[in-house]
Structure 1
């Protein structure tokens, strides 16, 4: 991708625990460069590695756009954990000297929120590997519900669905639960011959949380095919997610729209359908991935309007496989 003659550039970076996406647009919102790299959560990777990931993505995007650093008027980093003071300090120490006040830092939940509200107040409900509801109100106050991690939270998340699915398969194997199509699906997915071999496979994994989250899509597929056990798990997950959003709205004290984000809610899944069916709030389905929320906020903070034409341009470039999502730690 090459740039036009316009030389007012804006950069957005959306970074979570598993991947980071960077993009460059002009003042009109037209995206001229996009790059993807490893996760950039400073709480789960050493900071020097995170910094190099961010710098590599910036170099890649600038090269694609034909842009020079001094032509960049605004950057918005939406990174997992970046609402924590120590993380903000790390990012600022690494990038503030060269970017100054052009650099704005926030967490990746805000990036996902703004991909649906374009900078306006609202709540983002994220169901990816983990789950959380995060509100930003008209007066600038913030509220979070959930997001407490896989040991004590993450209800309705990919991890939770995957764990519940394996538990259901093992219960059926024991004769304590109903038969389910998930048995054959999980045995095949994990490359084992029988359900009792799932234990060694999962406990021996270097990242059981991610392994279990990867099985969530199987639950959704089984539910779509009419499996009763999978359908029950999806409904339970949806109820947990709706509970997160409702509790967050109560904390915010405003009837805010709820943006649905994360790998399990970004597309037309059975889980999203169940959430929409149960919801008593206004649900927003973003037309673009979270990195566009970062670009929109970079434009806004530079004093530019994110009007309908700009939004149309921001939504026009939607790379295959780039799902709305986020991870707040």
Structure 2
């Protein structure tokens, strides 16, 4: 059996998989694991108290951990050391972007993208990430992400760029005022998560032209400012994982087509693809 982790800052999905049959055996959810924001003791506590009891009946032969904040050797070592204290098995630690690349591209060249709360992308040669445009976060970048779509929505509401009936509907549905919005964005923690939750309003009202325009323009910006920076971007399929990509896939495809780009796989989450990848390598 192998243990695969897909970790973000808010939650971690751990999957015990039979790598011979290529199937999931058990899934465990724990709090997010990010070595940039958590101490080794905090990470160890969640693994010991939540993960270990749930997988105690399985013999783990290898661990593959993919996570936010795992792009540098010193941070990856923190994760590896903590896991090895509790699960004595060979472990490999990679970034969440590598999870997307392996899940979506398998061993073929392609462009792998994440569109969720944040956004990210890379050019993958079938083995390694060979080019990467920094996403820069929701203030400077993260085009097409839930956080930036939510940011655009509230900006358009507060600057009177949307019809009044849509602004009223939005404010009432989320029980918001301009003062509350400014407080949540500028004074409260994790404004990106708050903004991403607001993006659901876009999906619910996507038949309204001004709402459609926000999403369509956001995706075009993602392609132009990220994907089209890669060498040979027009020669590779462009694959996506993440809730925003999955739920808005038709508009995503339309935005790509407007730029003569070819979309490939669009998946909600990377875990099924990771199970397949590690069952055939």
TM over 0.5: yes
Counterpart of 1:24 in structure 2 is: 16
Q: Aligned partners of 1:253, 1:233: CA distance in 2, in Å?
A: 24
In structure 2, which of residues 259, 263, 272 is the aligned counterpart of residue 292 of structure 1? Answer: 272
Match of 1:267 in 2: 247
Deviates more, 1:179-188 or 1:13-22: 179-188
Q: Would you say the 8 A contact 2:13–2:27 is kept in 1?
A: yes
- Offset of 1:208 from its aligned partner? 1.8
Q: Which has the higher contact order (CA 8 A, sep 6+)?
A: 1
What is the aligned partner in structure 2 of residue 258 from structure 1?
Answer: 238
**Are 1:90 and 2:78 counterparts?**
yes
Measure the CA separation in 2 of the matches of 1:61 and 1:121. 37
Match of 1:125 in 2: 113
CA distance in 1, matches of 2:179, 2:110: 45
Q: Which consecutive unaligned segments of at least 5 residues does structure 2 have?
A: none
CA gap 1:212/1:188 in 2 versus in 1, 3 angstroms: same
Relative distance call for 1:11 and 1:111 in structure 2 (3 A) is: same
1:225 Cα deviation after fit? 2.3
Q: Is the 8 A contact 2:30 2:51 kept in 1?
A: no
* Residue 216 (1) aligns with residue 192 (2): no
SS at match of 2:111: strand
Instruction: Kindly state the Cα deviation for residue 160 of structure 1 after the two structures are TM-superposed.
Output: 1.0
Going from structure 1 to structure 2, the CA distance change for 1:185 and 1:13 (only over 3 Å counts) comes to farther
For 1:1-329, list aligned pairs within 5 A: 9-26=1-18, 27-56=20-49, 58-63=51-56, 66-68=57-59, 72-96=60-84, 102-138=90-126, 140-172=128-160, 177-179=161-163, 181-192=165-176, 194-195=177-178, 197-222=180-205, 224-226=206-208, 228-243=209-224, 244-248=226-230, 250=231, 255-269=235-249, 271-278=251-258, 280-286=260-266, 289-299=269-279, 305=280
Aligned counterparts of 1:201 and 1:97: Cα–Cα separation in 2:
39
Q: Kindly tell me: are residues 197 and 52 of structure 1, through their superposed partners in 2, closer, same or farther at Cα, counting changes over 3 Å? A: closer
> What is the aligned partner in structure 2 of residue 324 from structure 1?
none
Q: Distance in 2 between matches of 1:187 and 1:276?
A: 31
CA positional deviation for 1:29:
1.1
Moved more, 78-87 or 138-147: 138-147
Q: Is the CA contact 2:239–2:263 (under 8 Å) kept in the aligned structure 1?
A: yes
Long gaps (5+) in structure 1: 1-8, 300-304, 307-329
Partner of 1:302: none
Distance 2:107 2:46 in 1: 26
Instruction: Report the alpha carbon displacement of residue 234 of structure 1 after superposing the two structures with TM.
Output: 1.1
| Maintained 8 Å contact 2:64/2:93 | yes
Using the alignment, how far apart are the partners of 1:16 and 1:148 within structure 2? 17
| Paired residues of 2:245 and 2:267 also in contact (CA < 8 A) | no
CA gap of 1:137–1:185, structure 2 versus 1, over 3 A, is: farther
